[in-house]
Amino acid sequence: MNRQIFSVLMILNVCAFIKSEVIEIDDGKLEGTVLKTRKGLDVYAFMNIPFAEPPIGRLRFHSPIPNRKWNGILNAKQFGPACMQNNDGPDESVSENCLQLNVFTKELNSINLKPTIVYIHGGGYVAGSAVGYLPSYLLDRDIVLVTINYRLGPFGFLATGTKDAYGNMGLKDQVLALKWVRKNIAHFGGNPDQVTISGLSAGSFSVTAQMGSVMSQGLFHRAIAMSGAITWQTGLDRDNMNLVKQVAKRLSCPINVDDMIPCLQTKSAKDIIQAGSRSYYGCLVMPWLPVVEQDFGQERFFTADPNKLFKSGKFNRVPVIVGITTDEFISPVVPLLNNKESLELLNNKFSEIASNCFYFRGNGIISTDEIAELLRKHYLPYDKIDKTSFNSLHHLCADGSIGYAVHRFAHYASPFTDVYYYKFSYSERFSNFLYPRNKPYGIHHGDDNMYVLSTHYDPEIKESDPENFMVERMTRIWEQFSKYGNPNKRNDEFLADLNWPKLDKTSEYFLDNGKHMVEKQGLYLERYHMWDSLDKSLMYSEKDESNEEIMIKIIKKDSDYNFVLSSNNSKIYNYRSLP
């Protein structure tokens, strides 16, 4: 969060005092304010509402505890702080005491309850917040909007694999926020039995994670996952002790678990964030991730790897919209190709950075280095990697970080629930990536989100702007889906040509959402086939005597590790069937 953003928020907070509205919920009274939508409709805004006790002191690194009731009237006119993260703005713009949410609605205590959309922000689990997301687009539709904070970095995801720090605190924060919504949202005109969870990037990881957790069962009824899925090809670990020990050493804490956590609980939040930061040659590294919790008698967010849960149908089976943008992450390619050290590593020591940059790992049968070699042959077949490799390296970065995990999630989930799969391919004047002449270069990660939720740093799209139709289209799709679990709607000028079939493995339908909405088949299957083949080479499924699915490693049979080049020109690695 930079100083410019902070200044905008201060202006917003000052303006929030012009009008006010008081409402009473079970926890006490709230005084909110009134904002305007893009079309001039009044919106009641209640911000900085606590849903948990401050996770500080002995509560640091532990599951959240519901907040206590307050006396008097709580000032809910202003956004609260973001959760702790690296920050170049004033210290007060971030805080450990950050577990608050914001509610935006056009009607209070309404008889006709509206569908509720809960938005989970992105930021790689180390950055971002609910601060600054405004209702000016979505609240022109017939919905209630909730945006939430959750703990980030080591505060949200430090996991020792012991009872001292189970992990997944940030995801459990989200669960508690959803419980708050179920309990309280009717006071704001929202329907607790018609809740849609939505999110971008790490928010999308979180949406799919909530689908895979028994902790959130019954707390939501639809899901919208934009550019991210928890079904990563790396799987999830049971702890992140390597990272935790690095943090402990940097802060002069013992590295034995019994003494480590009590010591870290005494350190300043700012020091912990700095000690837990990690960069890697310009790549998009997500060091702090969810884990599969070991059982110490606690309520566990994940009891097994999400890939196994979704593949076997053991998840919250709600209708889901899920997809990617045409180009996803292009921006990391620029520093990789323009940095001398990174370029040298790409050419001479590709395997040293490949698993971190493109998110994969080997096992006892196929090593990480061998997988790196296969990926390089598939995406970067020429001897030298340089600026002419831009598009090829971009495809590898996009598929490894986002695309393939979303593909796998969609195909795991579709046999068990309705999946509406998409590619967002619209570009006009705006993008999250401007290159090389300060103009949009492709359709980048997050470009679809700017037509749904307005923020203080996104361009304001007016009804007279050429992009207006996309705001109308996207918000109407979200409204329709949040009401009925199906995005298709007739007799609507902005959705009249929408014919969005559900994903089916036989036909491979997806919606290409660009200047026009076009039903297509086979989203990047030629690229993802290599990952599918690699996935099969690492493990396959059988049934044991107890009829439980288990994963059995394939035995390496020959020097090419069961991979052969296909006979067509796409140079895809195909999996050789077992005899």
For residue 535, give both structure tokens: 């996935």
Q: Is 519 a catalytic residue?
A: no
- Of 328, 394, 401, 454, the catalytic one is 328
Give the DSSP H/E element, type plus range, for residue 273.
helix 269-275
Q: Is 328 a catalytic residue?
A: yes
- Judge whether 398 and 327 are in contact, CB under 8 Å: yes
- Give the span between the Cα atoms of 101 and 105, in whole angstroms: 13
- Judge whether 88 and 44 are in contact, CB under 8 Å: no
- Give the span between the Cα atoms of 310 and 543, in whole angstroms: 16
- Of the candidates 355, 205, 338, the residue with the CA atom closest to the CA atom of residue 280: 355
- Of 136, 201, 227, 482, the catalytic one is 201
- The one-letter amino acid at 433: F
E strand intervals along 454-516: 509-513
- Of 63, 93, 445, 533, the catalytic one is 445
- Of the candidates 383, 387, 357, the residue with the CA atom closest to the CA atom of residue 371: 357
Residue 434, CA distances (Å) to 150, 248, 345, 459 in order:
30, 39, 26, 14
Half-sphere exposure of 406 (CA within 13 A, CB side): 32
- Judge whether 100 and 117 are in contact, CB under 8 Å: no
User: Residue-wise over 471-509: b if at least 16 C-beta within 10 A, else e?
Assistant: bbbbbbbbbbbbbebebbbeeeebbeebebeebeeeeeb
Q: Is 201 a catalytic residue?
A: yes
Annotated active-site positions, please? 201, 328, 445
